[in-house]
Amino acid sequence: MKNTGNRLDKASLNTDFKEYLLSEYSNIAQAHFRTIEAISSFFRYYLLIMSLPITLIALFISLSSRTDEFLMLISNLSPLLSAILIVISLVGFGVLLHVISLRMDVILYARTINAIRKHFYDHAAMDIDTKLRTRILPQTPFQPAYVEHRYFFPVVLSFALFNTFYLFWALTLLGGTTLTDVTFQSIPGWAWWGLGFLLVHYGVYRWYAWDREHSYLKSYAVGVDIDGVLNRHREHFCKLLEENTGKKLDPQSITTIPLHDCPALRVSREDEKLVFNDPRYWTEMPPLDDAEHNLARIRNLNMKIYIFSHRAWPNTSGMKQGDRKTIHEQWNNKALALSRETYGDRLRIVLNQLRLWIGIPEDETVRIAWFRWIRTKLGTRPIEQFTKCWLRLHNFDCDELTIEQGNEDVADPQGHFHNRFYIARQKKLRFFVEDDLEKAIKLAYICDVVFLLEHPYNRNSQEKCLGCSRECKQDTKDIPNNVRSVKSWDEIYRHIRMLS
């Protein structure tokens, strides 16, 4: 009975989806034709406005009994007339940009209709021969092309000729040439550069088409979290927890994060602080075995990699002044040692050049103090140095690293937090690799696909963990279908390769 119910639910969902596609098809088709009508209206009004100055001048000349005096009057007003002509030319160029954008929308609507048509033809109970004989319009979302030399280019050319004519006329008048003495010899040499405005129109049209084809509503970027995605943080945490507190913990028993939310784990906030305030937790973190290789393969798919992590450490709140100083000294010394290990000779060469330039004596103590002073002035925190060096040592190449600031959980754009949600919207990230279920659900409304790397703490379940008397697990959530649960980076790579 349960399987029958599931089949009925799927059938109902399929019916709803087909009805949605039919409705979408109808709405987009109407929008397609309305946009074409809007382009036609804009073009008619544009031709009317562009021809108005020439028509008025011709009318005044025909009605005037003293044509020479009229032309002389216009010549005396040439600065004002030049300004008016330049404004007309620039306004015409702006109208062209809007018309091009409308035309690109028309093509986008046509491509969407083609994709919907493909869906219904693919699911129709007919053989391929019958399908090809009955189908006339295309069913590929890559047609029609955004560059239309035969259909839309004449419109662009019309705009270009009118706009360039008015601009060239304005530049000619600014050169001191009067209307009564306009000849090819009297036109200033620099005014001829105004004819380049013709090429600008075509160049802008090609750029709009390129942007729609390769960039608009598209992204070739992947967001990647660090902890739990690129490293084995559960195993490492349990190891340092035993060394710092003597408490033993099975990594598979970590079914909620933060750990202090689950009383059955017997890990307090202070225990967590002891581990996270230990520089070794961040610098000796073991990477996932298949992460480096597959991240490099994803970059080879022409994907940009954006790496994120929220690391508000060290946390010395509530500690004595002496303990705070000790921890910060440990972090600074470890950052210095790790930077020198990571960047090696290149760092020593740069520091030596700075030392010679400023005149600092060659002494190890002075050199270390000098390096710390530079790092302080640059505003680089030890945790950022840890993260950058760890990524470099384990060959995790990325296009941009973000150590999140402010609240890491707020996805609302009004929050203005510099976190993964804000940057995912700003950079239009197409994919994201997460280990946090709640963040994955929020990112599903921003990215095309979110890969949730499986861990005991991100399973969507209401079961109590380890016989805990309270429900420390998150409630069961409705997970969007673009959140894909994966077990390894190899699986992530195969999905991205197929969707790219």
The per-residue pLDDT for range 401-425, each reduced to its tens digit, is 999 876 666 666 655 567 899 999 9
Residue 8 has pLDDT above 50, yes or no: no
> How far apart (Å, rounded) are the C-alpha atoms in residues 157 and 169?
18
437 within 8 A of 480, measured Cβ to Cβ: no
C-alpha 100/C-alpha 200 separation (Å) is 14
CA–CA separation, 249 and 234 (whole Å): 10
- In the prediction, which pLDDT does 270 show? 92
Q: What is the DSSP letter of 231?
A: B
Could you say which DSSP state residue 258 is in?
S
Mean pLDDT of the chain: 81
What region does 37 belong to: left with phi over 0, alpha with psi -120 to 50, or beta? alpha
Q: Summarize the confidence of residues 299-327 as an average pLDDT.
A: 91
Inter-residue contact 318 to 413 (CB < 8 Å): no
Longest Cα–Cα distance of the chain, Å, equals: 108
**pLDDT (0 to 100) of residue 217:** 78
Backbone angles phi, psi at 308, to 5 degrees: -130, 150
Alpha helices in 180-315 (DSSP H): 197-214, 233-245, 269-276, 279-283, 291-299
Which CATH superfamily hosts domain 222-499?
A: HAD superfamily/HAD-like (3.40.50.1000)
Whole-model pTM over 0.85: no
pLDDT value, residue 413: 60
pLDDT digits (tens, 9 = 90+) for 353-389: 666 666 655 555 555 555 555 555 444 788 998 999 9
For every residue of 325-382, DSSP letters joined together read HHHHHHHHHHHHHHHHHHHHHHHHHHHHHHHHHHT----HHHHHHHHHHHHHHHT--H
Is residue 396 a contact partner of residue 308, using CB atoms and an 8 Å limit?
Answer: no
The residue ranges of every structural domain in the chain are: 15-218, 222-499
Computed from CA positions of residues 242, 229, 480, 13, in that sequence, does the dihedral angle turn out positive or negative? negative
Higher local confidence (pLDDT), 190 or 154:
154
How many residues are given for the chain? 500
286, pLDDT greater than 80: yes
Interhelix angle for 78-122 vs 67-76, to 10°? 80
Q: Which of 477, 463, 465 is nearest to 252 (CA)?
A: 465
